[in-house]
């Protein structure tokens, strides 16, 4: 038997079934269909409250909306955080539709087209510039539109986040401007009359190690101070990136948020002069929404092959690619999963939960221990609130998208 990842807290058993935000899995599926992503707004609200309690008051909290752009969830999160970080023109439209003010949006990401820059500049969105050429195009568009663009520089730092699942900094990267080239570009932007918005330094994602995050934040603040000095201008704002991970796999432990907050508090207490007036923020995706989502899928077939049990579902990697181990992981390990209609029962047998796609990659749980499940039972895959529906190849094999529901939306 292979171990399963740890089931996040915040879920209950009602009538022997998994309940999400107080709603039984079978009731949710009866209403919305299967497969179904369910997000519990109350868990997102609680997560934001925990962050606010642990982190210095001075630190703004942004949502990196590529983690989950489901419209009702965006509206929910918009009421909780200080800003949204977007990475495309499409995300700009979705953020605005969710009621996020353009002044609270910043736009990073390589390959911004002129039409994306124009939409952002005309609305007053802050651009996190990814290159010197992008800066020139943004300045030209601002001139043509007759408005001063709000410009920050995304820095490609000389370090990365230790223990990070996805390295975004250090060495040659398509993201950001190499640190050494930042001061000259900052001076160019300030001299042009654009609104200087400071720096965005993102060094990596998905770490569970508080000390690694503290070390990265200290290095980020030191780099920001050095670049501000070398640019000869104070920094109005500095986005410290993110990197806060969630436990997905057997043995993973939650991030020690209090330790991260305490270390950042010490950093803020000892800021160099050039950063005294700087507005700091972090940008989080999965940490805000990942554990609040569950993917529910119905068992269509139960079969045995060479003595192994396969529970074949109507879902799969076309909705939840990450759980199949094919989204940026090197070794396949099991996400937390359970038989939702027999939640909390002791494991009785070893079974693999597979999807309905005709590829051996489509495995949601490999040789896990589960209570005996039959056709009609529901499977729950946890940690499905981030990089699920929107980061999976939904058109592959033509089964169509999963439904999505938000329970406990903010009033
Ligand atoms: C994806 C991304 C994030 C969010 O990453 P998570 O691991 O979901 O927290 C934050 N900032 C930038 C620049 C990103 O590209």
Catalytic residues: 358
Position in ligand 1 atom list of the atom nearest CA 166: 7
CB 322 within 8 A of CB 335: yes
Q: CB 100: neighbour CB atoms within 10 A?
A: 24
When pLDDT is cut at 50, 70 and 90, the band that residue 164 belongs to is low
- Gap from CA of 277 to ligand 1 centroid (Å): 25
Q: What is the pLDDT of residue 171?
A: 86
Q: Which fold has domain 12-39+291-407?
A: Lyase, Ornithine Decarboxylase; Chain A, domain 1 (2.40.37)
Q: Which fold has domain 41-289?
A: TIM Barrel (3.20.20)
* Burial (0-12, 13-18, 19+ Cβ within 10 Å), 252: middle
Q: Where are the chain's structural domains?
A: 12-39+291-407, 41-289
For residue 202 and ligand 1, the question of a CB distance below 6 A is answered with yes
Q: How many CA atoms lie within 13 A of 137 on its CB side?
A: 16
Digit-coded pLDDT (tens) for 36-48 = 999 999 999 999 9
When pLDDT is cut at 50, 70 and 90, the band that residue 411 belongs to is low
Q: Is the dihedral of CA 354, 357, 362, 364 positive or negative?
A: negative
When pLDDT is cut at 50, 70 and 90, the band that residue 165 belongs to is low
Q: Across the beta sheet with 12-14, what order do the strands follow?
A: 12-14, 17-20, 23-24
For residue 289 and ligand 1, the question of a CB distance below 6 A is answered with no
Task: At 378, list the tokens.
Answer: 């529901």
CA distance 373 to 99: 43
Task: At 237, list the tokens.
Answer: 């704002």
CA distance 3 to 248: 12
CA distance 76 to 48: 11
Helix or strand (DSSP H, E) at 51 = helix 41-54
- Model-level pTM greater than 0.75? yes
CA dihedral 206, 212, 215, 216 (to 10 degrees): -20
Mean pLDDT, all residues of the chain? 96
Q: What is the pLDDT of residue 93?
A: 97
For residue 8 and ligand 1, the question of a CB distance below 6 A is answered with no
CB 76 within 8 A of CB 96: no
């Amino acid at each position: 038997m292979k171990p399963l990842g740890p089931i996040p807290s915040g879920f209950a058993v009602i009538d022997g079934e998994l309940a999400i935000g107080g709603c039984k899995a079978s009731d949710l599926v009866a209403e919305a269909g299967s497969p179904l992503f369910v997000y519990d707004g109350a868990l997102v609200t609680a997560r934001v409250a925990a962050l606010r309690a642990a982190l210095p008051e001075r630190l703004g909290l942004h949502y990196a909306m590529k983690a989950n752009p489901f419209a009702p969830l965006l509206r929910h999160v918009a009421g909780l955080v200080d800003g949204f970080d977007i990475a495309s023109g499409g995300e700009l439209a979705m953020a605005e539709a969710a009621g996020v003010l353009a002044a609270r949006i910043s736009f990073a990401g390589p390959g911004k087209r002129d039409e994306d820059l124009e939409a952002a500049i005309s609305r007053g969105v802050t651009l996190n510039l990814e290159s010197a050429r992008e800066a020139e195009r943004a300045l030209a568009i601002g001139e043509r539109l007759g408005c001063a663009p709000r410009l920050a520089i995304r820095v490609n730092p000389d370090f990365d986040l230790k223990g990070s699942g996805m390295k975004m900094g250090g060495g040659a990267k398509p993201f950001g401007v190499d640190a050494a080239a930042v001061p000259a570009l900052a001076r160019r932007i300030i001299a042009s009359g654009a609104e200087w918005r400071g720096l965005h330094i993102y060094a990596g994602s998905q770490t569970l190690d508080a000390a690694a995050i503290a070390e990265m934040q200290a290095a980020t603040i030191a780099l920001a101070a050095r670049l501000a000095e070398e640019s000869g201008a104070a920094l109005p704002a500095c986005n410290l990136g993110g990197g806060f991970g969630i436990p997905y796999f057997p043995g993973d432990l939650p991030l020690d948020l209090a330790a991260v907050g305490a270390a950042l508090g010490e950093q803020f207490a000892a800021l160099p002069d050039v950063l005294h007036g700087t507005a700091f923020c972090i940008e989080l995706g999965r940490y805000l929404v990942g554990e609040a989502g569950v993917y529910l899928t119905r068992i269509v077939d139960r079969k045995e092959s060479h003595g192994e049990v396969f529970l074949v579902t109507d879902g799969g990697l076309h909705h939840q690619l990450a759980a199949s181990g094919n989204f940026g992981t090197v070794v396949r390990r099991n996400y937390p999963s359970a038989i939702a209609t027999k939640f909390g029962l002791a494991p009785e047998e070893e079974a693999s939960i597979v999807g309905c796609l005709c590829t051996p990659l489509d495995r949601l749980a490999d040789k896990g221990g589960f209570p005996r499940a039959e056709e009609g039972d529901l499977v729950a895959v946890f940690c499905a609130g981030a990089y699920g529906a929107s980061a999976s190849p939904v058109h592959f094999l033509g089964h169509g998208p999963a439904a999505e529901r938000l329970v406990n939306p903010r009033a």
